Amino acid sequence: MSIGTLYIVAAPSGAGKTSLVKRLVETTPGVAVSISHTTRPPRPSERNGEHYHFVPMATFEAMIASDAFLEHAQVFGNRYGTSRTAVLAQLETGQDVILEIDWQGARQVKALLPDSLTIFILPPSRAALRQRLSGRGQDSAEIIERRMAAALDELSHYAEFDYLVMNDDFATALDQLRAILIAQRQRRAAQLERQQELLQALLS
């Protein structure tokens, strides 16, 4: 069985990354999103083990000490991390895995797993990004400005990624994301594992 591909998907807040990845997984067989560990409390709609693994700070720090994470980061006072064991186990079954992390996490994972592919989601314009960040209607102007500054900082690292997908039209961006996965699955190394018997039969 061939080993799955690890995809790292990053984007500034408001670029639509989560919606795109969710729809991609729903409509593309053989791909799943890695479930991160976090120290933040769950929101009312979130379930442990489905949206995140919610753990106490002491547990998270013990996992860091035991080198259990592919990457980990602190965001707005909360800790987030990707389990090394869980991701590698999924990949070994032949499943493709997506990590939704920021550029710092992407850099950490790429250093450990250089065969992983990185994808950055771009907003169509700065104005559209600000509108999306403001459109949630639940944050103060100060918070929106802070998120805008963080988004622009994230955007400044686009050149570190293998692929850029601009999310202006959702359906088009989704097709482009799916095309990256489909193309990767047709690479010679992957097809040699999947189609070994066919290739031998064709050339015998």
Domain ranges of the chain: 6-34+95-202
16 known ligand binder: yes
pLDDT band at residue 12 under the 50/70/90 scheme: very high
171 known ligand binder: no
Question: CA-to-CA distance for 80 and 37, rounded, in angstroms?
Answer: 6
49 known ligand binder: no
Q: Is the pLDDT of residue 116 over 70?
A: yes
- For the chain, the average pLDDT equals 92
17 known ligand binder: yes
93 known ligand binder: no
CATH of span 6-34+95-202: 3.40.50.300
Question: CA-to-CA distance for 52 and 38, rounded, in angstroms?
Answer: 7
- What's this model's pTM, rounded to 2 decimal places? 0.88
13 known ligand binder: yes
